[in-house]
A and B are shown apart, each in its own frame.
Chain A
Amino acid sequence: MKKILIIEDDLFLQGLEASKLTKSGYEIITAKDGTEAMEKIQEPGIDLVLLDLILPDFNGFEIMKKIRETESVKNIPILVFSNLSEEKDVEQAKALGSIDFMVKSNFTLDELVMHIETALKK
């Protein structure tokens, strides 16, 4: 079973995302801020990070940077799932190595599952 770390501060959205992905056959761990995310990412066997960009302590870009600088986890694919949509945000996420950038309100959770499936096949 593939393991996904959801980093999302809105606990209601986090719950919906976790519920859908669990039903779709993924093992889910969650973090509500950057500090918790950097602890949880050390858990072995994480296959993908689903990352929100606006978080209470570090922003998503800082977290991406930290992940890329941490040898043991630097190759874990990161899929950005945020309601930011400006070109500069997309570019910055790409530059930091995100494999996909999805604007939450433009997608359904089924479509999120499809994007994750595609990302994990790469």
Chain B
Amino acid sequence: MHDDIEKLKEENARLQKIIVVKSDLISITAHQLRTSLSAVKWILKMFADKDFGDINNEQKEYINKALTSSERMIAVVSNLLALNHADEPVVILEPEEVDIKMLIEDTVVEFYGETHKKNIVIEFQEPTCDIPTIQCDKDMIRVVLESIIENAIKYSNPKDKILITLRMNTENNTIIICIHDNGIGIKEEDKKHIFSKFFRAENAKKEGVTGSGLGLFITQNILQQHGGSISLESTENNGTTFFVTLPIS
């Protein structure tokens, strides 16, 4: 009994050290990302303001899109830092009226490169009813979708299909987004840890897929801040379905 307690203490101390190292690594990386993103943002703004000479309307449109994209990345890095440092994670939300169907379609398009490389198809099924707009932070919900879709691609086998559906639950006035893959799945004993900070399942590590163990942790926090939730169904080697629920108002 005494030996077991000592072993647990040692293991606990080892895990605490790992958490501190990972946390420091995230801080350093985030700082470097911010420095590079600052340069990108400043230069794009200078182009948009014609500091380097005249630009045509098409060039201006693309430069402004790139500028928006850089600002989105900066927001993601800032939230990553906030989540990394806070004991009680807080995401600063900027809610707006969002067409969630369009947001899913836009997000899926972003993954064309990755899906093409693995010959994976992402199918977004047309909802069977009209989905109303919802009040949410568009950039943050995009982060949620990106995180789950990215995982689905990473842990799917080549030529697999990822299925996304969107429906409404009129009973509790919510929308539900389901993202289903046929990948490696999650072991029963790992399910309760899957949303924990820095947790990475053994079967995921064995696949040689890199990850920080922060994606689903951040995802859950963003959804909770919105009054929403995330849950999953999964069988090892037989795929995973994530259910994202968001309140309509």
Contacts and interface: CB of A to CB of B under 8 A. Distances in A.
Interface of A: 10, 12-13, 16, 20, 23, 54, 83-86, 103-106, 108-110
Interface of B: 31, 34-35, 37-39, 41-43, 45-46, 49, 51, 74, 77-78, 81, 85
Contacts of A106: 74, 78
16 contacts: A10-B35, A12-B39, A13-B38, A13-B39, A16-B43, A20-B42, A20-B46, A23-B51, A54-B31, A104-B34, A105-B74, A105-B77, A106-B74, A108-B41, A109-B45, A110-B45
A104 B81 contact: no
A104 B35 contact: yes
Q: Which of B34, B42, B51, B81 has the most C-beta atoms of chain A within 10 angstroms of its own C-beta?
A: B42
A79 to B, nearest CB: 16
Nearest to B74: A105
Contacts of A103: 34
Contacts of A85: 78, 81
A20 B51 CA distance: 9
B35 A13 contact: yes
A111 B106 CA distance: 31
Q: SS class of chain A's interface: helix, strand, loop or mixed? A: helix
Q: Which of B31, B37, B38 has the most C-beta atoms of chain A within 10 angstroms of its own C-beta?
A: B38
Contacts of B43: 16
A83 B77 CA distance: 11
Given A16-B43, A54-B31, A85-B81, 8 more contacts: A20-B42, A83-B34, A104-B35, A106-B74, A108-B41, A108-B45, A109-B42, A109-B46
Contacts of A23: 51
Nearest to A106: B74
A16 B31 contact: no
A105 B37 contact: yes
Nearest to A10: B35
Nearest to B44: A108
A13 B85 CA distance: 26
Nearest to B70: A105
B82 to A, nearest CB: 9
A105 B41 contact: yes
A110 B41 CA distance: 12
Contacts of A86: 85
Given A16-B43, A106-B74, A83 B38 contact: yes
A25 to B, nearest CB: 15
A23 B50 CA distance: 13
B25 to A, nearest CB: 16
Nearest to B40: A105
B46 to A, nearest CB: 7
Contacts of B51: 23
Contacts of B37: 105
Contact of A16 (B34, B42, B78, B85): B42
Contacts of B34: 83, 103-105
A8 to B, nearest CB: 10
A106 B51 CA distance: 20
A9 to B, nearest CB: 10
A4 B38 CA distance: 21
A16 B31 CA distance: 18
B39 A16 contact: yes
B39 A110 contact: no
B200 to A, nearest CB: 26
